[in-house]
Structure 1
């Protein structure tokens, strides 16, 4: 199996697994207990917290969550006032914004250009006095486009609002800009385990808790933490920091080879403002379901894993102006640290040959 779906999830790093194993096999204490085993478990959690924080701006706290979906829900539901966000955001943002809108909060969803990038003047106009929260994704999960987060954060603060950055696809892959007030993270996008994420909260920012109960995590997020998951997240973050430049050079090299290899395919989203471990391509008339069926030993995607099987065209591709037919003829190829050059090229050749065979058969 050739795995090319890094935006959906990444392979677990051996170092992350090694960090987790002791806390799965023999060390089972609750990190919130006061006895010696509990204190040892807490020490592992705090080490992981520092490792995760090392890739983030200074002047804030990392609060562990069950994943980015919880972090984004918490940030939106725990804030106040009108919400401004983008049409290409993840469903965890758009659906949560729709939920708070049903409860009476005003929500503005900004369009993006054909390149997937928001217009800053239009964003400024939408941030009216009283706006409470502006939410924007750093790296888009479907098309890899990088939004001007630093500029959006500056506009947000000028309007007196808080800025929430969904950094799930960018954390550990591109620098996190200064100016964010809230940052949502997920471990399994950086070769860590599933089931854990975090919300970074800038010092001085207060949001209402989403979960109530035991008052863990300094009273802002109740629930017993898993030392194993925290350790895996921390190890993955440490590795991402250590290998940041090597990982970036690797995906940049693979991207250059891949775009040259897929001549005749059209790139969805900006060719310049993007993370290069994401390649979203369309081929006119392509039957993606048939393509995936014919190439079952290659794991690639027709879009977001969260929306797979819905039967609906990608809302991200529609937002950049693609027709339903164009959106349905698009595929997403994701690669990263553990992707080999030869395996990627071989998989792309097979995808290209199968797509062109469909055109001939038609």
Structure 2
């Protein structure tokens, strides 16, 4: 009898307990020194959002002259706070290390170090909080010597590390073929050099290598004499009429200054110039049966500059509507919306550095 009565009590009591535990809690009015709340109440229900402003000489610990906070199960998020108007909020820089700190802001005169993530920008730079704005802020854009994610190779995966969009210069990645396919050990590793990956491997089935060498598929460049290729019908080369031969016939692959070999096949080598150079001449180089290479490309220094797109710098309110070009190594003061204020932009290694708006 007692057991039945106890079971009945548990069935009645437990649902109520579970309901009480799952019910979100309301929030008491936050304590805001030097500020005011709208609406002002003693208690706020869950998910209520309030706005707050700060008295003269203070500002919210967030962007703008007013801010908001939301009641989340008994806690205000973010916590309403008024700070000195000359303090700085953490700089938000894409592709850079997070500079958040415990207080959520930095006092006037505080200097911090900003470092771009690997593969972006030109390393690190110091910035100082000067009366509410940072003295200079580094723009972390993809470095021209970094590489995009390597292309997909049929029947292969990269085993070195997980996927990422950008790899720093000199990064090395290793491919591994799926079961039933193989690749020479010396060709499994690729390296990022001056913005390009070195020769990509090819996964083939054992026993198919000789067939691939004997019947090399013709590329569009092989059939286009205008790009240094040979005619698909005659197999002749434009340079001297000699028949193309395996590249091993000509010995070592030629070194082209300021270029890297991005593809090496049985019958041709493909070059690409470094990022600060323009390629002139054929992309593909062949070996003639007389043991001589066809015409090599050359890499000519190109004009280096940075572009300032006002749409990308809305946080500093530039008073320009069109893209501005800055020559490598030069500085330019660009006007801001506030009369008499400017932001200084500098182009260094084709990366942009700039300051917040200031009065000259």
Report if TM-score (shorter chain) is over 0.5.
no
Task: Decide which structure has greater helix share.
Answer: 1
Normalised-by-shorter TM-score class: under 0.3
Structure 2 length as normaliser, TM-score?
A: 0.23
Decide which structure has the larger Cα Rg and report it.
2
Structure 1 length as normaliser, TM-score?
A: 0.23
Task: Decide which structure has greater strand share.
Answer: 2
